[in-house]
Structure 1
Amino acid sequence: MTLKALILASALVATPLLAQANPTLDQRVGKVEKQLKAVQRKVFPGGEPIEPDTAPAATTPDGAPVQSPIADLTARVDAIEKSLAALTGQVETQGNRLHIVEDQLKAQTTPAPAPVAATDTESAPVSGNTAETAPPPEPVITPVRRPAATVPASPSATAAGARTVAARRAAVSAVEVPATGDAAEDMYSYGFRLYQAQLFPEAEASMKDYAAKYPRGKRISFARNLLGRAYLDDGKPALASMAFLDNYQKDAKGERAAESLSWLGTALIRLGKKPDACRVYDEFDDVYGAKAAADVRQRVTRGRSEAGCTK
């Protein structure tokens, strides 16, 4: 039984007495009865009657009440207040117990902070005869993930990396450096040999150096085209497309301009830009067409088919 139902039940029991003591309370009693019935329907859907815990007023043999109605009602209200106070105390006790249990559960489920391992730079405590003082409390240290670059490599990984670098240097050293007396021609020839040896980063660097030192050299169209080829074969189609376009735009009449335009379509296809590749092939047909070398025209034809060009 809820507290509200209990109070209303006590009011219902006291109804006859109140009616005898003060007839003007009939309307208020009727209202309480209606409210009690409404609460009873919600609290006791089955319609079970409410049995108050108060005893009926004592009567004399002739049926008259021993005490006055007001005194009897006061005694019953006092009993209800005592019961309510006891119930409130039980609720508070249960609430305190619940809080204690929750605190214990939190303490059990919260992991203890992991001890911070001492680093190599920390020194061991030195024993001596000097007076020792209590150390200050250690601050809470949050572990920080170090970048991969700061983690020392294992000896095996270091050795493997060293072997790779040594093998790369040996491969570059195996490429013959031409010495014809023509520095510009030798630089281009050396870069081309690096490309043939599939040493693409070294070939890229060599062609960039040539373009920087000899922007008007007779091999400049070859060098810019070869730079794009090295990027493309090195798996860098975006850089390759920029190099090919640069060679075509700077000198559309250069020895390797038509070839750069055909390779530009290939780079765009690898980038997933097939409509752009088709526009490049249209440009190729308009500018060079049948005048281009046979192998270059064949590359454009294959590119059109791969890109799904309609023209």
Structure 2
Amino acid sequence: MTFAVRAASPTTLIRTIAGFALAATVATTPVPAMAQDGVSEARIRKIEAEIRALQRNVFPGADGRFFEPQISSDATGQPTRTNQTSTTAVTDILARLDAIELQLQRLTSLTEENTNALGLMEERVAALEASREGGSPAGPVSEEPATDSNLAAMTGGATETTAQPEAESAPQTETGPSAARLAAVQEIAKPQTDDAADDEYSYGFRLWNAGFYPEARQQLASFIEQYPDHWRITWGRNLLGRAFLDDGLPEEAARWFLRNYQADRTAARAPDSLLFLAESMIAMDDTRRACIALAEFGETYPAVASGRLLDQYEANRRKVTCEG
């Protein structure tokens, strides 16, 4: 049998080829892929719903001003993802605030502990001062060797002593000094120069030199309190000690001598105070401490010991017997 083949036009051929290509494309498209897209979208929605439920459990009644959910729904009901940066920043700030509050709590606790400790120390100091004022000995008996470092123990902490009112040791009656004594004191003129501080010291010296020891102590104590940085301060402390010693009060004298010596060992009257400290200990029958002071005087001020204060140094050494 013979078949007649008719030649197709170009347009018809192109359409035929396109049809075959379309059919082949449809035939070769994997049908499961479209199904998988639907399944994935369903799974994503399920996961998003579970996360929202978890957020409600972790932050019940959460306020959007403080916590922003990581997954939320827009006006169309479709889930949208929010920026996680703001949530992280808020979390960091809250963590830092918690740390700061914890540090403040610790500082507050330490401050309270320090305040309590200071209060206890103040109470102990007050008790010690009250005990000393009530008639305690001038200083504790020390068994330490005679060294420069323990010289401060000679008078029981003389460096803490301040100028004392004159009434504590003045040989006066309760009615005060007599009219004759007041008149005699008034006859001693107070210097009037351009150096007011030096005038105060000089007036105290004149009172001491005239034998008015209580009045001299009052004047010198006032000078020391008002002019602690004046160049005459070493003279003032030393002379205040002598005003006690010459009045038969060696314990108070020793405190001022030691205080003046320890304040500045290079000062003009530091050697004098150390030697008068030994003399005060001799007056108190404290031979051991007198020997400590004399030994330190000879070692610290050899030139003065063999010069200006030689006679006083030798006189004091003859009053006691020191070992070595």
Report the TM-score when normalising by structure 2.
Answer: 0.45
TM-score normalized with structure 1 length: 0.47
- Does 1 or 2 have the higher relative contact order (CA < 8 Å, sep 6+)? 2
